[in-house]
């Protein structure tokens, strides 16, 4: 069965970076992409970006350009999302989800979420 | 950038009601739209993709329609498990702001 297992909760200080991992199993990693979505406390869903599991091609939300980096390690079927220059409004639950091999595709399986808290 | 606007923001309904949620795109997105259900503290769950295709395992009381700029999600007979927040999304683009379905 398809599973996405994310790394554990993080607490970071403003200005620091965080790297969240998402380990996939139950499917051929390189046939799909990974989408990253976050949700601030009490708020809606915010799309952060997408990375191809095949060739590492990325597409980031304009708002996060320059601060977000998405990568994959196909040898371990793991995707990573790194967010730098953290601010208090980056406090959120971060989700990875299986997307398509191309950008225009839906997200059908989701990770359990990783809480990132930014606080001095 | 394409913007997605959902209405209403909150909807109060009773078990057995027919419920419709609307999502409008700021420009045509063909049928590249998904609907998700989210319950508190849980990850979103895919309900509908390609505007009207039911994801495997999702009850048939859920249906989607529309193309271009206007889309709807319909729950034919609201069940207790359906009280949740629903989001539309143009694939790998911003989500709608969400519609919370509450018990009337």
Q: pLDDT by residue (tens digit) across B34-75? A: 999 999 999 999 999 999 999 999 999 999 999 999 999 999
d(CA B104, CA B100): 12
| Residues in chain A closer than 8 A to B30 (CB atoms) | none
Put residue A105 in one of left, alpha, beta given phi > 0 → left and psi -120 to 50 → alpha: beta
Omega cis (within 30) before B8: yes
pLDDT value at residue A103: 86
CA-to-CA dists, residue B43 to A38, A108, B15, B31, B64, angstroms: 10, 11, 24, 24, 21
pLDDT value at residue A96: 98
pLDDT value at residue B29: 95
Walk along chain A (120 residues) in steps of 10 and give the mean pLDDT of each run.
98 98 97 97 96 95 96 98 98 96 91 98
pLDDT value at residue A25: 98
Q: Produce one character per residue of A3-37: b if its CB has 16 or more CB atoms within 10 Å, e if not.
A: ebebbeebebeeeeebebbbbbeebebeebbbbbb
Nearest residue in chain B measured CA to CA from A103: B92
Residue B1 confidence (pLDDT) above 90? no
DSSP B18-81: -EEEEEEESS--TT-EEEEEE-TTS--EEEEETTTEEPTTS-TTEEEEEETTEEEEEESS--GG
d(CA A23, CA A21): 7
Q: A30 Cβ partners below 8 Å, 6+ apart?
A: A53, A54, A74
Q: What share of chain A is helix, strand, coil (3-state, %, to 5)?
A: 10, 50, 45
Nearest residue in chain A measured CA to CA from B9: A44
- The answer to whether the CB atoms of B94 and A47 lie below 8 A apart is yes
Please report the residues numbered 12 through 71 in chain A whose beta carbons come closer than 8 angstroms to any beta carbon of chain B: 35, 37, 44-47, 50, 59, 61-62
């Amino acid at each position: 069965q398809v599973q996405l297992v994310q790394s554990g909760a993080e607490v970071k200080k403003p200005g620091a970076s965080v790297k969240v991992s998402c380990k996939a199993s139950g499917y051929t990693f390189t046939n799909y992409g990974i989408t990253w979505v976050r949700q601030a406390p009490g708020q809606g869903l915010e799309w952060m970006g997408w990375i191809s599991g095949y060739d590492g091609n990325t597409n980031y939300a304009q708002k996060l350009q320059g601060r977000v980096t998405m990568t994959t390690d196909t040898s371990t079927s793991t995707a990573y999302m790194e967010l730098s220059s953290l601010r208090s409004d980056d406090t959120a639950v971060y989700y990875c989800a299986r997307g398509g091999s191309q950008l225009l595709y839906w997200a059908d399986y989701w990770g359990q979420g990783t809480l990132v808290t930014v606080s001095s | 950038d394409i913007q997605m606007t959902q209405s209403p923001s909150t909807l109060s309904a009773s078990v057995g009601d027919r419920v419709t949620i609307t999502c409008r795109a700021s420009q045509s997105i063909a049928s590249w739209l998904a609907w998700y259900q989210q319950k508190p503290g849980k990850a979103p769950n895919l309900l509908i993709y390609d505007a009207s295709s039911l994801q495997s395992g999702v009850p048939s009381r859920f249906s989607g329609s529309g193309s271009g700029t206007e889309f709807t999600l319909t729950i034919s007979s609201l069940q207790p498990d359906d009280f949740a927040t629903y989001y539309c999304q143009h694939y790998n683009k911003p989500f709608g702001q969400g519609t919370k379905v509450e018990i009337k």
